Structure 1
Amino acid sequence: MPLDEAAEAQRAARVAQDVGPVAPGLNQFTTDILFRDLWLRPGLAPRDRSLVTVTALVAAGQVAQVPYHLNRAMDNGLTRTEASEVVTHLAFYAGWPNAFSAVPVVKSVFDSRAARSGAGGGRK
């Protein structure tokens, strides 16, 4: 899978700044193994990897990680409608509290994308 070098450089710089001083090994694994190995494997399209990641984060109640990964998912082609449907579906499989906890986070992603685009924040 091709790597968006500019986006990867921005992501790596943010992680290096935030994580590197505290856990240098985690910083290195995040770049080398997670984003330069796992995310580039050809078995799943980037959109599908993003969908799986967002789903896993919501299901595990890890909503702090959702904004980055939902934005990435939407950059990879996931629509607002699909993202909304994921949250609805997860209420039944991962628990109502996890779905409800994700709603304000998902809304903030939608709102910030709408503000950037000056419209609906991406494809419906």
Structure 2
Amino acid sequence: MTLSVLIARNQTTEMPFYLRLALDSGVKPAEISEMITHLAFYSGWGNATAAAVVAKRIFDERGIGIDQVPRAEVEPLPLNEVAEQQRAQAVEQSFGSVAPGVVQYTTDVLFHDLWLRPGLAPRDRSLVTVSALVASGQVAQIPYHLGRAMDNGLTKDEASEMLTQLAFYAGWPNVFSAMPVFKDVFAKRAA
């Protein structure tokens, strides 16, 4: 989660320390690479490019080669056709007439490619996404992605602890802005 915040906020000064810590704690280079790729779409290409420069430096320092990171083309995970059809229909109905290109790329690039890459477990990919959304103050996007995270195995207690961790790295105001949204998602799932 901490790396997600640093990438989402383009905070490269602290990134070498946390990249080393992640590697020392068992996070695989492939997972870090996937996290950066994922956040290119959720936090912007510039933030991901800046993170990739720092990660390459740390990977070089550790002797981590290209063979330890995922290729661009990978065999995707299976698609949950029912859930994806519901998501795609909701997005099309809400925004298809506003920005059809964004709607199409959301389906083709994000949900039929990025989210199906096997380099991060679906639960971890969801954690990366929700962490970045909280860090960026993008609370309108949290309900869907927190729900997806919980569908992918994140528990209410883990989500709560996530907010505690994020407060220190994303700032209390971003977490306090996200807490009512988390509370609402928890309540709707409990009903």
TM-score by length of 2: 0.60
What residue is the counterpart of 2:118 in the other structure?
42
**Unpaired segments ≥5 residues, structure 1:** 116-124
1:10-67: CA deviation from partner (whole Å, max 9, x where unpaired): 0000011111100000000000000000000010011000010000000000011000
Higher Cα Rg: structure 1 or 2? 2
Q: Secondary structure at the match of 2:78?
A: coil
Aligned length in residues:
115
What residue is the counterpart of 1:6 in the other structure?
82
Q: Secondary structure at the match of 2:118?
A: coil
Structure with bigger RCO (C-alpha 8 Å, 6+ apart): 2
Question: Residue 9 of structure 1: CA displacement?
Answer: 0.1
The AA in structure 1 aligned to 2:158 is E
Question: How do 1:5-84 and structure 2 match up within 5 A?
Answer: 5-84=81-160
- After the TM superposition, list the runs of 4 or more consecutive aligned residues in structure 1 that deviate by more than 2 angstroms: none
Query: Structure 1 vs Structure 2: percent identity of aligned residues?
Result: 74
What residue is the counterpart of 1:98 in the other structure?
174
Q: CA–CA distance in 2 between the matches of 1:19 and 1:95?
A: 31
Q: CA–CA distance in 2 between the matches of 1:2 and 1:73?
A: 17
Question: Residue 101 of structure 1: CA displacement?
Answer: 0.5
Question: Residue 107 of structure 1: CA displacement?
Answer: 0.3
**Unpaired segments ≥5 residues, structure 2:** 1-76
